[in-house]
Every structure is written in C-alpha cells, then in structure tokens.
C-alpha cells in the first residue's frame, strides 16, 4: 500500500472526516514542531478554534497519543506520549543502503547496511535489496514485516510527487530504480504503508522537528556530503514545489563557465562544494584524501591546502544560500551533512560570503546554525514522516532513537 508523501494539510477535502483528519494532523505537527504546548498556543499555531483544539486533544488523550502535563499547578501543557509500535526508516544512497528499525515497544533501535559492490551488484541497490534489508532487521528485532506501522525511505536524489519516481536527470545516481515508483513498489513488496522522499527533504524535516530548525516557521536546510541537497520549510510545512523537486540548492549555478555537473548544467554548487569536487580539487594540488572527514581533520591540523578547499567550499555555499535566502527569507539556515561538522573554518567563509552578498542587510534576522542531528538526519526524517503518516508524533527524540556517527565533530569546535 503506497501513500502520498506529502505532509499533512495537502489534499484535504473541503468537508467531512478529511477535514477532521487534516486538523488532527496540523495539531500533531504543531506539537512535534514546538514541543509541549498550552491549548491556547496550539489554537494560535494551527489557526483552529479553541473548541476544536479542545475536542481533538480529548480524542488524542483517549487514544493514548497525547497527555496533559501540569506546570506550576496553574497552566497545563499538551504533550505527545512515546509511541507504541515498530517503524523502519531506510536511506538509499548511490553506494549504499542503510536502514534503522525503531522499536517503541522495547525502546530499542536496530541498524543494518548494504554496500554496492559487496552486498549487491553494481546495477542493483533497488527495491528488492531494500526489502531484503528490512526483512533482516525485522527478523533481528523479532517482528513480522507485516506488523510494521510503516516504512520511510530517504532517497539520495529528487523524487517526483507526480510520478513517485526519481527525477530523470538524477537516475544515473540511483541505478536499480529507473522508472520505479519508490513508495508504491516497496509498499507492494512489504505490504505495509511506505513514504518516500528526497533525503535532504527528510533531513530538513528531522532538523525542523527536533533539531536546529525547531520552532521556526521558515527554515532553510542544506545537506553537504557526497552530494548537496536542500530542504525548505515555508510557513510551517516542507515546501516541495509543483512536482516535488523544490530545494535543489546543489544545482544553483555559481559559475556558468565552471565544470560540467551530472545534472547537465555547468558550475553548479555541487561542482565546487560536494565531497567529490573537494577531493578532486585537493588531488590536483598533490594532496590525496579519500573522504571529507579526512579533509576536515587535515584543515584542523593546519594543512593549508585542506583549509583552502574548505574555505572556498564555504564561500560557494554562502553565495548559494544567500541567493536562496533573499527569495524565501528564512529565520534560520542550518548546514548539515559532513561539511556542517567542519566547524568555524567553514562557517566563517559561509558568513563572509553572505556578507559580501549583503544578505544580512536585506534580512538582518537570519541566523546560521550547524545542524544538530548530524549524520542520522535523513533516517530520523524518515521516522518523522512515518509518525506523521500514522498520525503519531514525539515531542522529543528519546536517546535510544539517535546514533551519533561522528560525535567527535561537535558544533562548538
């Protein structure tokens, strides 16, 4: 069974149970985004009447989704309660597939991964491999796949909301999928609800729900790792555009005479600030590094070539972000992925580029932040979208749901 990946609010009917469901989803989203809230605050944020909020809260309490937390004996806050059930989130990258199973019955997380060339062949990595990985995880956790509440899929590439497939220009990045509708095919293979979206959109959703963008109604997120993707939250919901392909910050053209990009354009941000471009620029100087974290380590240890490439990547990123931010005026811009963990050397150049672009003169309130959730953001965004799909939510991520891959790169460095 496939489900439309759009966030709550989209596709509501004008009357009847559809409206009620839409209202419930808006209220759940407000609780996820802002945490425990008074009913008055919920009415303000959802623009629902106090009577409607009161009635929905009553139903949510009766079904065990929400609880009332007394504060100072006077005010009381509505909060989401930890959920029952088992959910899976999976991330499909060019070279790997990772998946995490979140067991809310026992408060435990199980992880598994497949690598291209080792666990599946060069042309593989498609729906069957993802389904097999989910079966493996379910076995490990002692649960039937058919009993999963839902599966979220984060694809390293843009997914059209019209066709449910990867955008044609990005298909070479995802061999094994071609014209396959992601959520529909996996839903049929697994027999449970599946939501699929671009990994940067899901990472933005996680950062907005639980991380650097929490509490903002307008939020710009950019994920810079092997590739560069963006997620945009406008007026309190993830903005996907007409076909679901909004937010391709990585393909903003910065130099029309620059190197050819896999999207078919020239001089995209991706050709300057992605892991591959940074490594190849360094290689041309005779400095051989194999992964972005090595470059970040080199810069910290004083290697001038590593410092230079990160600084220039930050300048390019700052220009692209400033141009985007002038159009959408977010209150917070968060930088995630491996580059977001590079610390001051990168943030200084992003900020100086924003200054050169006069971004802060145009929108003085904009704040740059390092993403908080880190390498797990897309997987946790998949969890957030399954929670939304099943009309559930968590105000605060329990510690067992998170896994820090590189906690040596704290944002304060």
Q: What minimum distance in Å lies between the beta carbon of 260 and Zn ion?
A: 9
Tell whether residue 251 is a contact of Zn ion (CB under 5 A): yes
Helices 17-34 and 50-62 sit at what angle, rounded to 10 degrees? 80
Rounded to the nearest whole angstrom, what is the least distance from the CB of residue 232 to Zn ion in the complex?
A: 18
Give Cα 181 distance to the centre of its chain. 20
**Which one, of 219, 186, 191, lies nearest residue 336 by Cα?**
219
User: Which residue number, 167 or 292, has a Cβ lying nearer to Zn ion?
Assistant: 167
DSSP assigned state of 226: S
Which range binds Zn ion by CB under 5 A, 1-9, 150-158, 199-207, 265-273? 265-273
Q: 231 vs 250, which CB is nearer to Zn ion?
A: 250
From the list 16-24, 243-251, 373-381, 399-407, the region that binds Zn ion by CB under 5 A is 243-251
The three-state secondary structure class of 329 is coil
**Contact range with Zn ion by CB under 5 A, out of 81-89, 139-147, 247-255, 285-293:** 247-255
Q: Whole-number minimum distance, CB 271 to Zn ion, in Å?
A: 7
CA distance 87 to 143: 10
Q: How far is the CB of 6 from Zn ion (least distance, A)?
A: 26
Q: Which is nearer to Zn ion, 321 or 379 (CB)?
A: 321
Query: Whole-angstrom Cα distance, residue 352 to residue 179?
Result: 42
**Single residue of 80, 232, 263, 386 touching Zn ion by CB under 5 A:** 263
Alpha-helical runs (H) found in 81-213: 127-141, 182-190, 199-210
Cβ 312 to Zn ion shortest distance, Å: 18
Burial class (CB within 10 angstroms; exposed 0-12, middle 13-18, buried 19+) of 249: buried
Length of the chain: 413
Task: Give the whole-angstrom CA distance, residue 393 versus residue 104.
Answer: 12
Select 57 or 261, whichever has its Cβ closest to Zn ion: 261
Question: Is the Cβ of residue 207 or residue 248 nearer to Zn ion in the bound state?
Answer: 248
Q: Secondary structure of the chain: what % helix, strand, coil (to 5)?
A: 40, 20, 40
Q: Does 316 bind Zn ion (CB under 5 A)?
A: no
325 binds Zn ion (CB under 5 A): no
**Angle at alpha carbon of residue 22, lines to 20 and 26, rounded to 5°:** 115
Minimum Å gap between C-beta 267 and Zn ion is 8
Q: Among 136, 217, 265, 331, which residue interacts with Zn ion (rule: CB under 5 A)?
A: 265
- Residue 396 buriedness (CB in 10 A; 0-12 / 13-18 / 19+): middle
Taking CB under 5 A as the criterion, the residue among 268, 295, 339, 373 binding Zn ion is 268
Give CA–CA dist 399/244, Å, rounded: 32
Least distance to Zn ion, CB of residue 61, Å: 49
CB of 109 to Zn ion, least distance (A): 35
User: Which residues form the interface with Zn ion (CB under 5 A)?
Assistant: 251, 261, 263, 265, 268
């Amino acid at each position: 069974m496939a489900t439309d990946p759009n966030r709550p609010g989209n596709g509501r009917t004008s009357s009847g149970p559809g409206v009620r469901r839409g209202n419930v989803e808006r209220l759940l989203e407000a609780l996820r985004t802002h945490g425990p809230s008074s009913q008055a605050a919920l009415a303000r944020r959802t623009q629902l009447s106090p009577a409607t909020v009161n009635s929905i809260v009553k139903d949510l309490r009766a079904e065990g989704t929400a609880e009332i937390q007394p504060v100072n004996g006077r005010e009381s806050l509505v909060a989401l309660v930890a959920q029952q059930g088992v959910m899976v989130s999976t991330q499909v990258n060019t070279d790997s597939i990772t998946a995490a199973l979140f067991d809310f019955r026992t408060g435990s997380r199980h992880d598994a991964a497949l690598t291209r060339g080792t666990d599946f062949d060069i042309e593989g990595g498609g729906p069957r491999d993802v389904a097999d990985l989910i079966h493996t995880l379910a076995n490990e956790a002692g649960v039937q796949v058919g009993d999963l509440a839902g599966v979220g899929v984060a694809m390293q590439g843009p997914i059209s909301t019209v066709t449910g497939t990867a955008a044609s220009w990005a298909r070479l990045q995802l061999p094994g999928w071609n014209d396959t509708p992601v959520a529909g095919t996996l839903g049929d293979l697994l027999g449970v609800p599946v939501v699929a979206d671009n990994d940067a959109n899901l990472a933005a959703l996680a950062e907005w729900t639980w991380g650097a963008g929490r509490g903002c109604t307008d939020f710009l997120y950019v994920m810079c790792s092997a590739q560069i993707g963006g997620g945009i939250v406008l007026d309190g919901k993830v903005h996907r555009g007409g076909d679901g392909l909004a937010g391709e910050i990585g393909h903003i053209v910065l130099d029309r005479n620059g190197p050819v990009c896999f999207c078919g354009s020239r001089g995209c941000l991706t050709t300057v600030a992605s892991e591959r471009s940074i490594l190849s620029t360094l290689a041309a100087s005779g400095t051989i590094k194999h992964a972005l974290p090595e470059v970040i380590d080199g810069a910290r240890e004083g290697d001038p070539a590593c410092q230079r490439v990160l600084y220039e990547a930050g300048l390019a990123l700052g220009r692209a972000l400033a141009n985007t931010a002038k159009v959408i005026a977010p209150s917070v811009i968060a930088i995630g992925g491996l580059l977001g963990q590079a610390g001051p050397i990168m943030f200084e150049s992003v900020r100086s580029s924003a200054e050169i672009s006069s971004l802060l003169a145009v929108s003085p309130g904009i704040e740059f932040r390092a993403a908080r959730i880190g390498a797990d953001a897309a997987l946790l965004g998949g969890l957030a979208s399954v929670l939304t799909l099943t009309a559930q939510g968590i105000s605060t991520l329990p510690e067992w749901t998170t896994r820090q891959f590189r906690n040596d790169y704290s944002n304060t460095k």
